[in-house]
Amino acid sequence: MKIKTISRSADNYVPVRNTQESSLPRNLNPALHPFERAREYTKALNATKLEKIFAQPFIGQLGDGHRDGIYSIAKNFDSINQVASGSGDGVIKYWDLTSRDEIISFKAHYGMVSGLVVTPKQHNMLSCGDDKTIKLWSVNSSDFDMSINDDELYDKKDNGLVKTFLGEHAFKGLDHHQDEELFITGGLSIQLWDMNRSNYISNLSWGADNINTVKFNKTETNLLASAGSDNSIVLYDIRTNSPIQKVVTNLRTNAISWNPMEAFNFASGGDDHNAYYWDMRNLKRSLNVYKDHVSSIMDLDFSPTGEELVTGSYDKTLRIFKTRQGHSRDIYHTKRMQRIHVVKFSTDARYILSGSDDYNIRLWRTVANDRAKIKSSRERAKMEYDNVLKERFKHMPEIKRIARHRHLPKTIKKAKEIKTVEINALKKREDNNRKHSKAGAVPYVPERQKHIRGTSIKDD
């Protein structure tokens, strides 16, 4: 007779001391895990509910804000906790995000600050304004008097000023070259400046219209894009000192952001409530359309990974889009926040900054239920497991409903309803038109092409 029975030694399973962890042997045989699918679904449902419970996107505002609406925010790309902001009364401020306090403020311009950038190497602030000047400001505390308070700010104008460039027209939009000492300004014409010269070195204008925004490509550093009031987006190459190509859209483009990871792609947002994703090699159609806003998009910014896009709108909300999806994954709003003029991702992608008409710069979490504290490995494992479950069961009706639900301000909701009705009416009209015309006379135009009037390539 050959015989053996299960004989487990308790020593292997029961801890000897109470400080010891008890061993938890696993057996992954599915026969030992009945109702696997149903249990995972329940876990996914619970995780989705918890995610909603812990969703707290708003962190707070930076310091006491400005004394006028905020129209520009600039990131310091070499740090994760420093940003600059400029407001409508000509004041620029430099902020420390960790303490959410300002480091220094300067009265930079008469009238509003229309462009602001933190220079890449020296980390100085470069600002331009309606007063036809571009000014370079030091942020090193040895260069200026720290003791000036807010009341004296408007009188002491030379504090911290490094350099002034005088222009011929009011400026609109400013960006600095990633590597070289060059910067570009918009306005009546688009001009390239050298940091060491007092006058601009070339004028890149194509056509005769105002330029509202200019953006250097951070990867392919000699390329830049501009958007103007003639509803056009123009691409330039500064090596040849000339524009390359142009696309004209139906409505004005307010903001441009280059994808930091895919150098040839950029996004634009404009007055038609939509943002578009473009491939600069083919401007005949856009790669993606981001719909959801109910008013003009005033600014947009890519996350450092290029996976997400944040847009700030005139409808007083900001939305976060996944680059490859057409509708927003989240919407942020508060009762007090007014029209948003500028949004930026923080350089570590975990936070979003928004500047609005109500003089405040607000700090938001990119993921609403995310928390900054250090997580234990068990917490992290649970979170990762929950995320996988949520992803797996995201199409289940109950989970979808809970995950998608957002509270919207009444005005937005109403505006959305009205917009749907209007769009449906237009569609219906077009359909009717098509039905009653000769076959092929009213062609179907893809949504990704509808907003494009035409493109042109510069040939010399």
Partner 1 sequence: MAVTGKMGSYDRPGTGKYERGNKKKLYSKDKKINAGLKKIDNQYKEAVRSAAGTDLLLQEDHGYLEAEGMEKTFKFQQKDIKNVVDESTIKKSFKLSLPDYGPYQIDYTRNGKELLIGGKKGHVASMDWRTGSLDCELHLNETVHAVKYLHNDQYFAVAQKKYVFIYDKTGLELHRLKQHIDCTKLEFLPYHFLLATAGNTGYLKYHDVSTGQLISEIRTKMGPTQSMKQNPWNGVMHLGHGNGSITLWSPSMPTPLVKLQNSRGAVRDLAIDREGKYMITGSNDKSMKLWDLRKFKVIDEYYSPTPVQSLDISDSGLVSTGWNTHVTVWKDMFKSKQKDPYMNHLLPSNKVERLKFVPFEDFLTVGSSKGVENLIVPGSGEANFDALELNPFETAKQRQQTEVRSLLNKLPSDTITLDPNVIGGIDKRAKAIRLKAGDLNEIITNKDDTVEINPNVKGKNSGLRKLLRKKTQNVIDERKLRIEKNLRLEKEARKRNKDIENGIEVEEDTLAPALSRFN
Closest CA to 308 of 296, 298, 318: 318
The least CB distance from residue 49 to partner 1, in Å, is 11
C-beta of residue 343 within 8 angstroms of C-beta of residue 300: yes
| Burial classification of residue 233, based on how many CB atoms lie within 10 Å of its CB (0-12 exposed, 13-18 middle, 19 or more buried) | buried
The least CB distance from residue 44 to partner 1, in Å, is 9
Place of tokens 């960790």: 98
Q: In what order do the strands lie in the sheet with 308-313?
A: 297-302, 308-313, 318-322, 328-332
C-beta of residue 95 within 8 angstroms of C-beta of residue 85: yes
The least CB distance from residue 368 to partner 1, in Å, is 22
The least CB distance from residue 18 to partner 1, in Å, is 9
Name the residue nearer to partner 1 (CB basis): 43 or 100. 43
The least CB distance from residue 19 to partner 1, in Å, is 13
Name the residue nearer to partner 1 (CB basis): 9 or 196. 9
Q: Which two tokens stand for residue 109?
A: 């311009």
The least CB distance from residue 25 to partner 1, in Å, is 5
Q: What angle do CA 239, 242, 246 make, to 5 degrees?
A: 125
The least CB distance from residue 329 to partner 1, in Å, is 19
Name the residue nearer to partner 1 (CB basis): 80 or 287. 287
- Ranges assigned E (strand) in 271-387: 275-279, 288-290, 297-302, 308-313, 318-322, 328-332, 340-345, 351-356, 361-365
| Burial classification of residue 234, based on how many CB atoms lie within 10 Å of its CB (0-12 exposed, 13-18 middle, 19 or more buried) | buried
The least CB distance from residue 225 to partner 1, in Å, is 29
C-beta of residue 174 within 8 angstroms of C-beta of residue 184: yes
As a whole number of angstroms, the distance between CA 404 and CA 402 comes to 6
Q: What angle do CA 233, 195, 197 make, to 5 degrees?
A: 110
Name the residue nearer to partner 1 (CB basis): 237 or 447. 447
Bridge partner list, 137: 125, 161
The least CB distance from residue 144 to partner 1, in Å, is 56
Give the residues lining the site for partner 1 (CB under 8 A).
1-10, 12-14, 22-43, 46, 392-393, 396-398, 400-401
Name the residue nearer to partner 1 (CB basis): 388 or 421. 388
As a whole number of angstroms, the distance between CA 158 and CA 149 comes to 14
Bridge partner list, 321: 309, 328
The least CB distance from residue 303 to partner 1, in Å, is 23
Name the residue nearer to partner 1 (CB basis): 382 or 428. 382
Name the residue nearer to partner 1 (CB basis): 9 or 147. 9
Place of tokens 């895919």: 262
Name the residue nearer to partner 1 (CB basis): 37 or 335. 37
Name the residue nearer to partner 1 (CB basis): 10 or 372. 10
C-beta of residue 145 within 8 angstroms of C-beta of residue 138: no
C-beta of residue 117 within 8 angstroms of C-beta of residue 108: no
The least CB distance from residue 390 to partner 1, in Å, is 12
Three-class SS state of 266: strand
Name the residue nearer to partner 1 (CB basis): 14 or 166. 14
Name the residue nearer to partner 1 (CB basis): 18 or 196. 18
Q: In what order do the strands lie in the sheet with 101-107?
A: 70-75, 82-87, 91-96, 101-107
